[in-house]
Amino acid sequence: MASIKNLQMADTVLSNPNVEYRKGFMGLGSKAIYRPTGSPIAAQVLDYTADMGRKLLDVMACQPQELDKKLDSATSIAPTQIGNNHLELCLSRDHQFAALQLFTFADLVFKPLSEVKIYTGHAAQLIAKLF
């Protein structure tokens, strides 16, 4: 489990009006909450092969209303232990909020392959099925 504050997409996710970032008692611990449902948001970092990264990028490029069709026709997108594509994922526990950004390893650093994509409602539930 990664900390949302340590993600490269942290500023974009935490500036979303539907996300609230709460600090714990005396500054110890913190958590992000999806405001409409009050569900906690967890962050993950997953690695993918180049082929799986292209498939994931293809899913992220489609419009939210096209996700049903795209995910039905898409083959499984499985993470790997070590890959040259790196996904930052924020997902609420109730699967009503998801934020994704894909990176590729080049010049000894991870560089963005996509913009931060934020999904809510039914689209977020569909995206959550991938993970």
Q: What pLDDT does 110 receive? A: 85
pLDDT tens, position by position, 53-78: 998 998 898 888 888 887 776 557 88
pLDDT > 90: percent of the chain: 53
Q: What pLDDT does 106 receive? A: 83
Give exposure, 64-84, as e/b (b: 16+ Cβ within 10 Å): beebeeeeeeeeebebeeebe
Q: How do the domains of the chain map onto residue ranges?
A: 4-129
Q: Can you give the pTM of this predicted structure?
A: 0.88
